[in-house]
Structure 1
Amino acid sequence: MLEMLNDFLSGKLLIVLIVGLGSYFTIRSRFVQFRHFGHMFSVFKQSLRSSGGQLSSFQALMLSLAGRVGAGNIAGVGIAVTLGGPGAVFWMWVTALVGMSSSFFECSLAQLYKRADGDGLYRGGPAYYIQHGLKLRWMAMVFAVLLLVTYGFAFNGLQSFTVTHSLQNAFGFPVQYTGIGLAVLLGLVFIGGIKRIASVSDLLVPVKTLAYIGVTLYVIFTQIDLVPGMLVTIVKSAFGLEPAFAGLLGSAIVMGVKRGVFANEAGLGSAPNVAAVASVQHPVAQGVVQAFSVFLDTFVICTCTALLILLSGFYTPGFEGDGIVLTQNSLAAVVGDWGRIFVSVALSLFVFTCILYNYYLGENALQFLLGKSRAALLTYRGLVLALICWGSMQNLSTVFAFADITMTCLAFVNLVALALLIKVGLRVMRDYDEQRKAGIATPVFDARKFADLDLDRDAWPTAPQAQASSEAIDGRLATSHR
């Protein structure tokens, strides 16, 4: 029953919602992900600046990449290619293109409706913009519960199982001791709160990402003469025009979209929770940065994994095995046995940062539901660590199937909320675009122009310097219009 329900929800309904509403957001925004593509790199450069004790835009980006860049980029791509053939990669690209607009709006709205938590930091996400944007407290609570169950508990147990068994296969480490060691390391990070989680992500995410991209690019460049032909095969297979993969057309679309969604998480409602913590001048700036992270996740990292598999010579149509084994063996076929060890170590880093990300999503949902309860927070941390130890020794396939269903429900609630708030999102986007058109390199958000919205004045204060900047911007806009 779980399998049938999961197949309908995540294999059909979610695909229609993600692609359909992503396309709708793309058209309504006048293809924002294409218009701002070059601008993404300059905003990313600006995000490196310090925020005076608050979390910077770059730290929020690294924290979101901690979740986006995970096992899905290794195992997920392997599964997509195994079941859907090379054409699945093309449909992953399509999903990412429309998903960039969904991520843009959900993260911009998370910034717009964020709340100051009284400790100099911010909280936000879909639960917050549902409550304060749509005035639907019950719907916001449903989202928060689904987020807590899916990411805070279920996915953390699954990630623990994945990494401990990968290390056992590569090095022979007993899973029970690996699970305990993992729980201890994570506990040391958890007790430092969001700042320590962000600091660790700052360190590990660039290291794991660059190391993985570097090794896969080495494999690709050693066979660069085969890359153009493989790219043609990917496109032709996506439309059933490649004879060897013609029978996989339906699977290519389904697996490409499904694995693409789960790899980059655009539209699922998870990334906005970490996008909201950043201190930025304008909500849209974080939306642009997070759209860039979808591009990086799918077009760079997932594509590197796909080309690694397809160029290795190990993969053949009808391959039977899991995604991790396929990726490990593909790398080993080119560089030798150390390739299997490298994939295992890379997966361990990916999973470690993913658990940090999942933990914070659950903590954010918990605070939304119960407020700043120290007892509730400590209980939550204890349960997560216990689940990590237990999950390291258990096959949680049934739990994962249940989590897939709750995550699809999570995405459904979030996408409906985005559709209902699209006018607000477009309004904030136009404010940003008008300032850039007037020649303002770093647009500034003026909360007075949005006095009709339920915004937190502590999160978006109209300080004297902000008011002066706003007046200067108004002058430039008036000159521009004339």
Structure 2
Amino acid sequence: MLDLINDFLWSKVLIALLIAVGIGFTVRSRFVQFRYFARMFRILGASQAFKRDKHGHLSSFQALLLSVAGRVGGGNIAGVAVAITLGGPGAIFWMWVVGLMGMATSFLECTLAQAYKTAQPDGTYRGGPAYYIAHGLGKRWKWLAGVYSVLLLVTFGFGFTALQSYAVATSFDDAFGVPVVYTGLGMAVIVSLIIFGGIKRIARVTEVLVPVMAIGYLLIALVVLGMNLPRIPEVIMLIVNSAFGLEQAVGGGIGAAIMMGVKRGLFSNEAGLGSAPNVAAVAYVPHPVNQGIVQAFSVFIDTLILCSCTAFIILLSGAYDPASGIEIGGVALTQASLADHVGEWGRSFVSVALLLFGFSTILYNYYLGENSLNFFSESNLTLFNVFRVAVIVLCGWGAMTDLGTVFAFADVTMGFLALANLIALLMLFKPGLRIMRDFDEQIRAGIRHPVFDASKFSDLDVDPAAWEIEPEDLERLKRHGEAASPSQPAK
């Protein structure tokens, strides 16, 4: 039954909705993910004026790293291998297409998450789909916000936390012979030391962990590309030809290539699922569009860069040979491929990468669960502590348990989670475009760093306290160039 529901959701309903939102907003926004791609670097540079400070705010860059910590995971290592095994090399082409469309979807949902965020007493913010559903769609739709929060807690807070623990522990056991019980207990201890510090400590850890794991994986891929430089054009042509059914010898076919590319791409970058907006909302930025642009870039990092790294490692190796009739899938194919390039230590490298990716995702999943609880009971320390203990237990238990049924159930709940979010996004197209056009107009007026004036959007039920810029930060932005109209409220 779970398989039937999962197949119906992901093979029909969600793929149609995700493509509709991605293409629809790409066109309506005049290809915003490409128009503002270069501006992302300026935004991250200016965010140094908005870094974590005496007021307790978290910067745009910290929120970006926190979202990358969640997007980058097993899908970048195992998911790409599965896509190539079942859909052929052409699946990578469709994964790229989905990534480019997903950038627009992520822009929309993360811009809305920023616009509808609420200020917290400790200087941080809360937000996400539950908040933009409740405030953007009105009281009649508050039930949908509640359903979304429950699904978010069950899927990411509980289900995927245990699944990540299992994936990391079994991979470490295969590579180094470390019993799963020790890996599970080790992760439980380390996670406990981090999550009891709240979002600020999680952000500080990901600020170090994410660049190390992402850059390390990118470097090993560049080494592989350098070792196989003459063959790169050949592999690119293989991917493109296979995407349109012109390389049937490698298996997959055009239908399988499209299906696997779309599904694996969506699973990997999470654009449209509504998970990333929960962490995008924590950033202290002058305008919601700033974080929308930055979060669109996180999809680019995940799908266009890191997924491509795995794809080229596999396709440039001798491990992938569908003509041989010997099938290797998942993590094993990535491990075998890297080992074919650099020697047996490549298997261990993949396991370590999976450990880091999985660990960062556990921290991300924890925060999603905490945010869903906060929607029902703001800053309830007792409730948060009970949840933290549950996450620690799941890290240990999940490592030692076969979670096949849990995975199937989490897949279904994630499908309904995405369904609720996509319905909300379709209904909030106009507010999203209105906020984007406010940013566009300020840019056209020569303002280098647009600022969101909440008083102009009072009809959208935004929280004015969440858009009060600290006076010293507003002054810093003005030193970088014109920043805002004099009507911008400040503390």
Same fold by TM (over 0.5)? yes
Per the alignment, residue 366 of structure 2 pairs with 359
Is the aligned partner of 1:456 residue 2:459?
no
How big is the shift at 1:179? 0.5
Is the aligned partner of 1:263 residue 2:275?
no
Cα shift readout 1:191-228 (whole Å, capped 9, x = no counterpart)? 11000000000000000000011001101111011111
Gaps of 5+ in 2: 487-491
How far, CA to CA, are the matches of 2:407 and 2:455 in structure 1?
45
Per the alignment, residue 384 of structure 1 pairs with 391
1:335 to 342, 345, 348: 342
Cα shift readout 1:137-174 (whole Å, capped 9, x = no counterpart)? 11100000000000000001100000001111111111
How far, CA to CA, are the matches of 1:328 and 1:464 in structure 2?
52
Using the TM superposition, name which of 313-322 and 276-285 deviates more. Answer: 313-322
Per the alignment, residue 489 of structure 2 pairs with none
2:181 to 176, 179, 188: 176
How far, CA to CA, are the matches of 1:388 and 1:322 in structure 2?
25
Structure 2 CA distance for partners of 1:169 and 1:452, relative to 1, 3 Å: same
How big is the shift at 1:12? 2.5
CA contact (8 A) 1:448 1:462 kept: no
How far, CA to CA, are the matches of 1:473 and 1:115 in structure 2?
21
**Counterparts in 2 of 1:35-74, with a 5 A limit?**
35-49=35-49, 50-52=51-53, 53-74=56-77
DSSP 3-state at the match of 1:12:
helix
CA contact (8 A) 1:92 1:298 kept: yes
**Counterparts in 2 of 1:114-129, with a 5 A limit?**
114-129=117-132
CA contact (8 A) 1:86 1:238 kept: yes
How far, CA to CA, are the matches of 2:412 and 2:319 in structure 1?
33
How far, CA to CA, are the matches of 1:144 and 1:151 in structure 2?
10
Per the alignment, residue 166 of structure 1 pairs with 171
Cα shift readout 1:275-316 (whole Å, capped 9, x = no counterpart)? 000000101000000001101111111001100000011101
Per the alignment, residue 478 of structure 1 pairs with none
DSSP 3-state at the match of 2:30:
coil
Structure 2 CA distance for partners of 1:463 and 1:311, relative to 1, 3 Å: closer
CA contact (8 A) 1:240 1:246 kept: no
How big is the shift at 1:458? 1.3
How far, CA to CA, are the matches of 1:23 and 1:96 in structure 2?
11
CA contact (8 A) 2:108 2:292 kept: yes
How far, CA to CA, are the matches of 2:192 and 2:237 in structure 1?
47
How far, CA to CA, are the matches of 2:261 and 2:471 in structure 1?
50
How far, CA to CA, are the matches of 1:400 and 1:463 in structure 2?
45
Partner AA of 1:19 in structure 2? I
Per the alignment, residue 479 of structure 1 pairs with none
How far, CA to CA, are the matches of 1:236 and 1:104 in structure 2?
30
How big is the shift at 1:462? 7.4
CA contact (8 A) 1:10 1:404 kept: no
How big is the shift at 1:246? 6.0
**Counterparts in 2 of 1:416-427, with a 5 A limit?**
416-427=423-434
How far, CA to CA, are the matches of 2:52 and 2:203 in structure 1?
13
How big is the shift at 1:273? 0.2
Partner AA of 1:270 in structure 2? S
Structure 2 CA distance for partners of 1:331 and 1:246, relative to 1, 3 Å: closer
Using the TM superposition, name which of 1-10 and 134-143 deviates more. Answer: 1-10
Partner AA of 2:125 in structure 1? Y
**Counterparts in 2 of 1:143-162, with a 5 A limit?**
143-162=148-167
How big is the shift at 1:449? 1.3
Using the TM superposition, name which of 164-173 and 49-58 deviates more. Answer: 49-58
**Counterparts in 2 of 1:175-194, with a 5 A limit?**
175-194=180-199
2:245 to 216, 219, 240: 240
Gaps of 5+ in 1: 476-482
Using the TM superposition, name which of 365-374 and 277-286 deviates more. Answer: 365-374
2:288 to 266, 283, 288: 283
DSSP 3-state at the match of 2:460:
coil
Using the TM superposition, name which of 113-122 and 358-367 deviates more. Answer: 113-122
CA contact (8 A) 1:313 1:330 kept: yes
